[in-house]
Structure formats: C-alpha cells, structure tokens
C-alpha cells in the first residue's frame, strides 16, 4: 500500500490504469506526461519485450504540490492487456492505492471489458485486497469510434459501485485530465481517512478545492487541442527491453537456472513472466528514483550557478532588487513555496527586509527570542539554520503563527562570511510545500553562504564606487574653488574698469547701458564666488532675495535631456507673480537638484517610465516648492520593492544635506507617500519682503 516516509516527509502512492488490450491506457499516461508541468514529471518508462512488440507496463512518476508538509509522489502505471501477461497484471496490482479502469467503447470489444474487470477483481482478492475498499474510477475511452456501446449500458454493467465515470477520447486529450483529477481526489480522501495525512480532505468539498488547485499547479489546464489538430508526439520514453518467455531456449533463463520445468510449461511461463515483471517493476522504480535524484542534483547545481550569476551581475552594476528578487523566487519555487524574504544587516547593525516575496511584512522581525531579544538578530548571531513545523515547539512558533493559517513550517538560513554576519534567508512553507530534508537544508546553507559572499563583495564594490564618486566630486569642488579664487582679482579688475568707463562724461548712453549690464553680471559672479568660498569654509552664506524662475529654467535645461533618456518625464512650473525667497541661490539650486536626483534614483530597476514634477506656488508669506515622483505607485504595481541598503543610505544622506540647507534659511521640510499616487517632498521657504 502507500509508502509514507515521515523522516523525509513524502508520501508515495500507486495508481494503476487497468483494462483490456488496446483500450488507451498508455495513451492516458502519454497525455498526462505531455500536459504535466516540467517540474512535476519525470521521464516515462516503458518495459518492452526484446522484439519491442509487447509492452509489459508503462510507469509515469508524477509529483504534485505537497499537502501539510508532505510531498506527494505518484507512480502511475499502465498494465499490459495481452493475455500472455496476466501474471504481470496480478503482480502490479500488489499494493495499489487507486485504480482507473479504462474500458474500450468499441462494440466489438465489449466482452473484453467484462473479462478484464472480472480478472482485476480476482487478482485483487488473490493479493489480499478487498476490491470494494480500493478507490476506483471508470473511463469509457475511444468515444470517437463509429460504433460504440452506449455509456449508460457500460456504466450499468461495469460500474456496480456507482463510482465516478468519464467519457474520453485519449488521442484527442479529451477526458484524460478529468479522469486523473477524480483519481487524485479519491486517492487523497482515502489516504486522509486511513493514514491521517491531510485530515481536512475527508470533507468532499475541501477535497474538491484541493484537487482543483493541485491540478492547476501540476498540469496545463488549457483544455484539449482542436479536433483537427495533429495529436502531440509521444513523450520521450526510456525503454527497458527484456526477453520474451516464448523465445527462451530449453535450459535458459531464470527458470532453468532454478531447476524449474521447461519454459513452455504454462505454469513455468506464468511464473517466469511474473518474475520478469517484478524485476522490471523494481528496475523502473529504481530508475525513477535515480532520475529524481538526478533532477534534484541538477536543480541544486543551477541554484549554485545562480549565485555566481548574481555575483557577476551585481559587480557589473546591475540593480540589486530585481536581480535578488528573481533569485529568491527561483529558490522558493524549488522548495514549493511562494512566500520568502531576504533580510540584510545594515552597517549600524539593524536588520532590514530587502526583498519580500509574497509577504507584506517579515513576521520574524515582529517576534522576540525566548531570551527577550529580537528574534531575527538572535537567529543571525547564532549562525545556525533553523527548520520548524507548525506542530513543533521552538523559537519560530510565533513567526509561523504570524505568517497565517496556511503556513505549516518555516526555514531560516543565516548568511555569513568569514568576517561578519550578512543577513537571513527565510522561507515560509505552505500546505503545498514539502518540508526540506537534511540534504535540502545543507544545500540551502551552501546557497546562503555563496549569496552572502556575493553580497559582501558587491557591497564592497558599491562602497568603493560611491567613494570614488565622492572623491571625484571633492576634487572637482576643490578645483572649482581654486578657479574661483584665481578669478577674484580678474573680476575685481573688470569691475573697476567698468565703473571707470561708465563714469566718463563722453561715454555714449548705449555704451553706458551695456557697461551697467556687465557690472551686474560681475556682481553675480562675485556673489557666487563668495558663496562657494563660504561653503568651502563650512559656513552658510547669508540669505538674499532669490527669484525661483531662473533656477527652474536652468535646472530644466540641464536635467530634462538625461531624465527623458531614462524614460522619465520631467516638468517644472512656477506660478506667475511668485515672490523671491530668502535663501542663497547657489545652495538652493544644489538642494533642489539633489532632491530631483534622489527622486530619479527611485526609478532604478523599475520596468516602467515615470514622472517627476517640480511645482512652486505662493503660500501666504512663504513659497511652497513641491517635488513629486510616481516611483512608489510603479513599485506598488510591480509588487514589493525595497531599495538596496547602501543606495538607500546614499539617498538618505542626500536628503539630509538638502534638508539642512532649507532649514538653515528658516524653511520647513516634509515628505509623504500617497497610496496610489506617489511621493511628494514639500519645501516651504519664507518669501522676501
């Protein structure tokens, strides 16, 4: 009967497709294989005779989403219908958990259906199984033939128990998935009742809901292809060939080796066939297990390659959030869960959820350890992986409860390097997730270690890049300051010459007007020079009436092109008759530019174009400047999205510098994010009297 492994948390059940020869049993398995999602199926295995004429049986290993932390694995077997292999059919019925009886609807094959059903009943009894206790589903296949037996007649003659029955045309994929869904539901209801695995499935309504969800997650449910379309090619099949008993020479084979009678003796042939079939069944099962192990190893290698890919792309400058989000999603799908998080430790020691996959907030962060410390910090400092299920006592119980009713387990893997802890990988396991076994937890530790190293290296590279930019800016500022100082004498000399020329009595009026224009320009240059000198000396220049229109015009001309190239629409608007503000024009321009640059960086990694708008209007005896961007709206539409911690720190420093300028000139600063709209930074500056 069913194989339940409580240590590795899996359930393996055996489903037999039984029926007369040429009834469509193999076609059913081929359709199931064709429609199964790639991560839910293994290769179809056929055990054939040496002449490749008679199929002993077909084996399709399938995995469905887990239930209550147990991974569900199914051996779906189509038995041979030929008379010679009756012993094979009897052997394969041992330990069966559910039967699909595939009847041939052709009128000239009616007797074969009755004989096959009678034979199946006898073999179940001979195997010590009560036929009435084995779940069974009937499929009346080949309904596309010109002469078929009426469905009601077939149901009345074959389905004495009143079990579910379905009509089908296997070659057109009609009725195949519907039949398997019923098998899946009946099998799980039986397991739930008999072995207390998934107790809620005893309720038919809950069983139906679970089956519908499982079928959607395990198979493509787009419906059968059009009738005029060619049927799909048979799936890739591993063929195991064995010698047919009828071809064995006297004294050859297992029968002769054991001193049995000549193979042409009917009883000896039957025993030989049964031994071949049993050996082939064991071989096919072992092959399926090996393929499953191979696929697990392949997936784990791909995960480790994924770590290398993340490291390379981070070092190449790719944005962290989308890259890490895709990586976390990939690992989560391998575990069968859609809820996980990546938490990183900030330079100040605080922990921050950088990626939330299927979560609004990280439950671990809201919990305390048994010692009263923040749970996330305690888990990170321990450096040990934790795995706990809902029915166990332990430090993760509160986090599992906070995750909701559907959470049946939690795996938390610390990320660390030789130097320091980096963060946590957390996976919230739902009812469709299998609880990781020891090998999986060890694999997750390797992934976490590699990812921690990748993030550490990328963090160092990002810090270096930011330092290089700061040094470049510092050098450029020093060079500009030196240039302004060097030009001071030239500006003063020009101002003296201009004043002297303007004071001459013989200067024409038009020239005097031009000289006055030059003097005003020189005054602005000298004022800006003194402002830069004050800033370099860590002094705030004195405020003065400062018109906003020229500042807005310069910023629009400077920033519109680069922002447009980045897919961001940039608008600046000043209300008419706006009074000047009390500030320093150089610092105010720098502060506003810093706010716009920070808003621009918020769009990094987002696939959609955005909008930044700067708007100035009177506000009583002050002027309100609003800087709006819709990056928050785009992030809401694209799912949870949190900026890379170092980039967020850079943005916070930029805001702090801009805010310090505003507050120095008696201004006010506020920021808010409006749901469904975006983020607005409000700057209120006093108007010049």
- Of 401, 436, 471, the residue that ends a domain is 436
Mean pLDDT within 134-152: 95
Strand segments, DSSP code E, in 19-124 are 44-49, 55-67, 70-78, 98-104
Mean pLDDT within 66-86: 75
* 418 and 443 belong to one structural domain: no
* 459 and 431 belong to one structural domain: no
Compute φ and ψ for 145, nearest 5 degrees. -70, 155
Is the confidence at residue 648, as pLDDT, over 50?
A: yes
- The CATH number assigned to the domain holding 111 equals 3.40.50.300
Mean pLDDT within 90-107: 93
* 477 and 603 belong to one structural domain: no
* 457 and 415 belong to one structural domain: no
Which structure tokens are listed for 233? Answer: 């090619």
- The CATH number assigned to the domain holding 648 equals 3.30.565.10
Mean pLDDT within 277-283: 70
In a domain, 286, yes or no: no
Q: Which of 674, 671, 614, 607 lies closest to 639 in space, CA to CA?
A: 607
What gap in Å lies between CA 504 and CA 513, rounded to an integer? 13
pLDDT at 376: 94
What gap in Å lies between CA 321 and CA 634, rounded to an integer? 14
Q: What residue spans of 96-203 are helical by DSSP H?
A: 110-126, 151-158, 176-195
pLDDT at 654: 67
What is the percentage of the chain residues whose pLDDT exceeds 70?
74
Q: 645-664 vs 438-503: helix axis angle to the nearest 10?
A: 30
* 627 and 569 belong to one structural domain: yes
User: 238 falls in which pLDDT band (50, 70, 90)?
Assistant: low
Distance linking the first and last C-alpha atoms of the chain:
92
Which structure tokens are listed for 104? Answer: 């041939």
Q: b/e for 170-179, b at 16 or more Cβ within 10 A?
A: bbbbbbbbbb
Is the confidence at residue 253, as pLDDT, over 50?
A: no
User: 48 falls in which pLDDT band (50, 70, 90)?
Assistant: low
The secondary structure of 535-579 as a DSSP string is: HHTT-PPPPEEE-HHHHHHHHHHHHHHHHHHTTEEEEEEE-TTPP
pLDDT at 45: 64
Q: b/e for 297-321, b at 16 or more Cβ within 10 A?
A: eeebeebeebbeebbebbeeeeebb
Average pLDDT, the chain: 79
What gap in Å lies between CA 196 and CA 184, rounded to an integer? 16
In the chain, how many domains are there?
Answer: 4
* 64 and 127 belong to one structural domain: yes
How confident is the model over 290-339, as pLDDT tens digits?
A: 777 777 888 888 888 888 888 888 778 777 778 888 899 999 988 888 89
What gap in Å lies between CA 247 and CA 459, rounded to an integer? 70
pLDDT at 293: 79
Q: Which of 139, 162, 164, 123 lies closest to 29 in space, CA to CA?
A: 139
Q: Which of the residue ranges 12-26, 111-125, 561-575, 596-610 would you say has the lowest mean pLDDT?
A: 596-610
* 514 and 405 belong to one structural domain: no
Between 79 and 227, name the one with better pLDDT.
79
What gap in Å lies between CA 163 and CA 310, rounded to an integer? 53
Q: Which of the residue ranges 224-228, 489-493, 608-612 would you say has the lowest mean pLDDT?
A: 224-228
In a domain, 680, yes or no: yes
User: 465 falls in which pLDDT band (50, 70, 90)?
Assistant: low
Instruction: Count how many Cα atoms sit within 13 Å of the Cα of residue 492 in the half-sphere of its side chain.
Output: 8
Which range has highest mean pLDDT (211-215, 452-456, 544-548)? 544-548
pLDDT at 154: 96
Between 541 and 303, name the one with better pLDDT.
303
pTM beyond 0.75: the answer is no
Domain of residue 163 covers: 3-245
Q: How far is CA 517 from CA 43, 345, 505, in A?
A: 86, 58, 18
In a domain, 686, yes or no: yes
Helix (H) or strand (E) holding 271: helix 266-315
Q: Which residue has the tokens 């922990």?
A: 351
Compute φ and ψ for 162, nearest 5 degrees. 70, 35
Which structure tokens are listed for 595? Answer: 């706010």
Three-class SS of 443-461: HHHHHHHHHHHHHHHHHHH
User: 649 falls in which pLDDT band (50, 70, 90)?
Assistant: low
In a domain, 40, yes or no: yes
- Of 214, 245, 276, the residue that ends a domain is 245
What gap in Å lies between CA 74 and CA 33, rounded to an integer? 13
The secondary structure of 487-501 as a DSSP string is: HHHHHHHHHHHHHHH
pLDDT at 261: 41
Task: Mark residue 620 as left, alpha or beta (left: phi above 0; alpha: psi -120 to 50; beta: remaining).
Answer: left
Q: Which of the residue ranges 202-216, 469-483, 532-546 would you say has the lowest mean pLDDT?
A: 469-483
pLDDT at 201: 57
Is the confidence at residue 53, as pLDDT, over 60?
A: no
* 628 and 564 belong to one structural domain: yes
User: 199 falls in which pLDDT band (50, 70, 90)?
Assistant: low
Compute φ and ψ for 146, nearest 5 degrees. -65, -30
User: 50 falls in which pLDDT band (50, 70, 90)?
Assistant: very low
Which structure tokens are listed for 72? Answer: 């569900």
Is the confidence at residue 170, as pLDDT, over 90?
A: yes
Per 3-state DSSP, what percentage of the chain is helix, strand, and coil (rounded to 5)? Answer: 50, 25, 25
Task: Mark residue 349 as left, alpha or beta (left: phi above 0; alpha: psi -120 to 50; beta: remaining).
Answer: left
User: 643 falls in which pLDDT band (50, 70, 90)?
Assistant: very low
490 three-class SS? helix
In a domain, 651, yes or no: yes
Q: Which residue has the tokens 């209550």?
A: 68
Mean pLDDT within 357-376: 91
DSSP symbol at 539 = -
Q: Which of 427, 421, 428, 441 lies closest to 377 in space, CA to CA?
A: 421
Three-class SS of 177-188: HHHHHHHHHHHH
What gap in Å lies between CA 173 and CA 232, rounded to an integer? 9
Is the confidence at residue 391, as pLDDT, over 50?
A: yes
What gap in Å lies between CA 556 and CA 569, rounded to an integer? 11
How confident is the model over 397-451, as pLDDT tens digits?
A: 999 999 987 788 899 999 988 768 889 999 998 877 778 888 889 999 999 999 9
Q: Which of 397, 416, 407, 514 lies closest to 456 in space, CA to CA?
A: 416
Mean pLDDT within 628-655: 62
Compute φ and ψ for 514, nearest 5 degrees. -65, -35
In a domain, 687, yes or no: yes
Mean pLDDT within 633-657: 58
Which structure tokens are listed for 278? Answer: 């049993």
Is the confidence at residue 613, as pLDDT, over 90?
A: yes
User: 378 falls in which pLDDT band (50, 70, 90)?
Assistant: very high
Is the confidence at residue 500, as pLDDT, over 80?
A: yes
In a domain, 171, yes or no: yes
What gap in Å lies between CA 484 and CA 59, rounded to an integer? 84
- The CATH number assigned to the domain holding 430 equals 3.30.450.40
Residue pair 166/182 in contact (Cβ under 8 Å)? The answer is: yes
* 683 and 608 belong to one structural domain: yes
- Of 407, 436, 465, the residue that ends a domain is 436
* 509 and 560 belong to one structural domain: no
DSSP symbol at 382 = H
What gap in Å lies between CA 547 and CA 183, rounded to an integer? 78
Residue pair 59/235 in contact (Cβ under 8 Å)? The answer is: no
- By CB neighbour count within 10 A (0-12 exposed, 13-18 middle, 19+ buried), where does 102 fall? buried
pLDDT at 639: 43
**604 CB contacts (<8 Å, ≥6 apart)?**
319, 643, 647
Between 568 and 431, name the one with better pLDDT.
568
Helix (H) or strand (E) holding 356: strand 351-357
Q: Which of 92, 89, 39 lies closest to 62 in space, CA to CA?
A: 39
Which range has highest mean pLDDT (142-146, 439-443, 457-461, 586-590)? 142-146
Between 260 and 322, name the one with better pLDDT.
322
What gap in Å lies between CA 137 and CA 114, rounded to an integer? 16
**275 CB contacts (<8 Å, ≥6 apart)?**
254
Is the confidence at residue 250, as pLDDT, over 50?
A: no
pLDDT at 436: 86
Q: Which of 627, 623, 579, 577 lies closest to 602 in space, CA to CA?
A: 627
* 531 and 550 belong to one structural domain: no
Q: Which of the residue ranges 231-235, 453-457, 557-561 would you say has the lowest mean pLDDT?
A: 231-235
Mean pLDDT within 474-500: 73
In a domain, 92, yes or no: yes
Torsional sign, CA 298, 302, 303, 305: positive
Mean pLDDT within 97-124: 95
* 35 and 144 belong to one structural domain: yes
């Amino acid at each position: 009967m069913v194989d339940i492994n409580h240590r590795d948390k899996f359930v393996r059940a055996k489903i037999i497709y039984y029926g007369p020869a040429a009834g469509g049993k193999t076609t059913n398995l081929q359709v199931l294989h064709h429609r199964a999602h790639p991560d839910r199926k293994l290769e179809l295995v056929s055990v054939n005779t040496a002449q490749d004429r008679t199929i002993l049986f077909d084996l399709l290993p399938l995995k469905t989403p887990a239930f209550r932390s147990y991974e569900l694995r199914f051996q779906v077997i189509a038995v041979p219908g030929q008379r010679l292999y009756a012993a094979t059919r009897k052997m394969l019925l041992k330990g069966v958990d559910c039967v699909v009886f595939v009847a041939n609807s052709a009128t000239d094959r009616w007797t074969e259906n009755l004989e096959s059903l009678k034979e199946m009943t006898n073999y179940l009894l001979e195997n010590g199984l009560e036929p009435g206790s084995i779940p069974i589903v009937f499929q009346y296949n080949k309904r596309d033939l010109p002469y078929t037996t009426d469905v009601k007649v077939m149901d009345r003659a074959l389905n004495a128990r009143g079990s579910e029955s379905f009509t089908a045309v296997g070659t057109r994929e009609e009725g195949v998935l519907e039949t398997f869904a019923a098998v899946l539901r009946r099998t799980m209801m039986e397991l739930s009742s008999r072995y207390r695995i998934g107790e809620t499935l005893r309720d038919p309504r809950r069983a139906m809901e679970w089956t519908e969800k499982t079928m959607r997650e395990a198979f493509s449910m787009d419906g059968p292809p059009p009738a005029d379309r060619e049927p799909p090619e048979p799936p890739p099949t591993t063929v195991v060939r064995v010698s047919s008993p009828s071809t064995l020479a006297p004294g050859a084979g297992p029968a002769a080796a054991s001193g049995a009678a000549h193979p042409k003796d009917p009883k000896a042939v039957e025993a030989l066939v049964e031994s071949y079939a049993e050996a082939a069944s064991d071989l096919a099962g072992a092959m399926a297990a090996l393929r499953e192990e191979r696929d697990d190893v392949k997936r784990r290698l791909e995960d480790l390659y994924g770590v290398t890919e993340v490291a390379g792309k981070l070092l190449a400058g790719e944005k962290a959030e989308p890259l890490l989000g895709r990586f976390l999603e990939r690992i989560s799908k391998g575990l069968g869960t859609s809820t996980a998080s990546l938490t990183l430790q900030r330079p100040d020691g605080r922990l921050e959820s950088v990626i939330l996959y299927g979560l609004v907030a990280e439950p671990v962060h809201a919990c305390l350890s048994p010692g009263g410390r923040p749970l996330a910090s305690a888990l990170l400092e321990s450096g040990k992986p934790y795995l706990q299920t809902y029915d166990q006592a332990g430090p993760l119980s509160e986090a599992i409860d906070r995750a909701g009713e559907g959470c049946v387990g939690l795996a938390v893997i610390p990320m660390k390097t030789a130097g320091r802890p980096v963060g946590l990988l957390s996976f919230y396991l739902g009812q469709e997730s299998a609880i990781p076994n020891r090998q999986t937890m060890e694999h997750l530790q390797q992934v976490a270690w590699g990812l921690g190293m990748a993030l550490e290296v990328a963090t160092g590279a990002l810090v270096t890049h930011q330092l290089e930019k700061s040094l470049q800016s510092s050098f450029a500022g020093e060079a500009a300051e030196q240039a302004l100082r060097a030009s001071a004498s030239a500006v003063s000399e020009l101002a003296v010459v201009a004043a002297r020329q303007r004071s001459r009595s013989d200067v024409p009026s038009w020239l005097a007007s031009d000289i006055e224009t030059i003097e005003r320009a020189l005054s602005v240059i000298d004022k800006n020079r003194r402002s830069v000198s004050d800033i370099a000396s860590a002094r705030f220049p004195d405020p003065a009436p400062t018109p906003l229109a020229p500042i807005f015009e310069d910023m629009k001309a400077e920033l519109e092109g680069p922002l447009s190239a980045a897919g961001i629409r940039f608008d600046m608007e000043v209300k008419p008759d706006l009074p000047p503000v009390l500030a320093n024009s150089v610092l105010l321009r720098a502060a506003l530019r810093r706010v716009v640059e920070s808003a621009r960086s918020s769009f990094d990694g987002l696939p959609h174009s955005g909008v930044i708008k700067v708007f100035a209007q009177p506000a009583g005896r002050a002027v309100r400047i609003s800087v709006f961007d819709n990056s928050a709206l785009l992030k809401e539409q694209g799912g949870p999205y949190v900026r890379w911690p170092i980039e967020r720190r850079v943005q916070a420093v930029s805001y702090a510098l801009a805010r310090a300028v505003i507050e120095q000139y008696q201004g006010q600063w506020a920021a808010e994010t409006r749901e469904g709209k975006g983020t607005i930074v409000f700057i209120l500056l006093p108007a010049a009297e």
